[in-house]
Amino acid sequence: MIQLIAAAEENNPLLPHPAEMVIGGFAFLLVLFFVGKLLVPRIQKTLEERTVAIEGGLKKAADAQEEAQRALAQYKEQLAEARHEASRLREEAREQGAQIKAELREEAQAEARRLIEAAHAQIEADRQQAFAQLRSEIGRLSTDLASRIVGESLEDEARQRRTVDRFLTELESSNAAVR
């Protein structure tokens, strides 16, 4: 035991041996050079790049979102515009339709009027024709009837015409009176 204490005093554990310090210093400097000088900067660079990449990714995502928002807004605007345009077109079409309808109606009415007028004119003409025909017919019938009743032949053309004219005048005047 005494020997042990003596040995401990000889080798005071608190007194560093120069050899240990040289070895320790050498080992540490060796590691410091290779790890500290060469390897740590690499991982620092990579970590930095990773940060940049992540930040870049986040920024890209944010940009994409913003872009999407912008596109959405644009689409909405376009949609609203299209709706507005459509309603405008519809309105226009309706107006045009109404106009066309009115035009057509007017045309049809004009056509109808024209037809009616034509029909009237035709009727008038027919009536005139019938009237003229009737007039000669009635004249002849009347003279026939008169000659038969009177029993005399009215051969004389002049007389006959006169008689007929007189009769017709009478007839017309009576007719006018009736009208």
Partner 1 sequence: MLPLLAAEEFQAPGLGLFEWPALVAGQAWFNKPALFALIAALIVLVFAYSAFSNPRLVPRGVQNLGELAYEFVREQVARPFLGKDSDRWMPLLFTMFLFIWIMNLFGSVVFIQFPVMSRIGYPAILAIGVWIMVTYLGMKHQGALGYFKNMMFPPGLPKWMYVLVAPIEFASTFILRHVTHAVRLFATMMAGHLIIALFSEVGWHFLFVQLTPAGAVIGVMGVIMTILLTAFELFIQALQAYVFALLTAMFINGALHAEH
- Which residues contact partner 1 by CB under 8 A? 4, 7-8, 11, 13-25, 27-28, 30-32, 34-37, 39-47, 49-50, 53
Half-sphere exposure of 15 (CA within 13 A, CB side): 5
Greatest CA separation for the chain: 203
Nearer to partner 1 by Cβ, of 50 and 113: the residue is 50
Nearest approach in angstroms of CB 30 to partner 1 is 5
Which two tokens mark 134?
A: 């009737």
Half-sphere exposure of 148 (CA within 13 A, CB side): 6
Nearer to partner 1 by Cβ, of 13 and 151: the residue is 13
d(CA 135, CA 125): 15
Nearest approach in angstroms of CB 75 to partner 1 is 36
Other Cβ atoms less than 10 A from the Cβ of 164: the count is: 19
Nearer to partner 1 by Cβ, of 53 and 132: the residue is 53
Nearest approach in angstroms of CB 65 to partner 1 is 24
Nearer to partner 1 by Cβ, of 8 and 121: the residue is 8
Nearest approach in angstroms of CB 79 to partner 1 is 42
d(CA 114, CA 109): 8
For 138, residues 6+ apart whose C-beta sits below 8 A from its C-beta are: 168, 171
Nearest approach in angstroms of CB 62 to partner 1 is 20
Q: Which of 144, 178, 173 is nearest to 163 (CA)?
A: 144
Q: Is 62 exposed, middle or buried (0-12, 13-18, 19+ CB in 10 A)?
A: exposed
Nearest approach in angstroms of CB 15 to partner 1 is 7
Nearer to partner 1 by Cβ, of 4 and 176: the residue is 4
Nearer to partner 1 by Cβ, of 20 and 152: the residue is 20
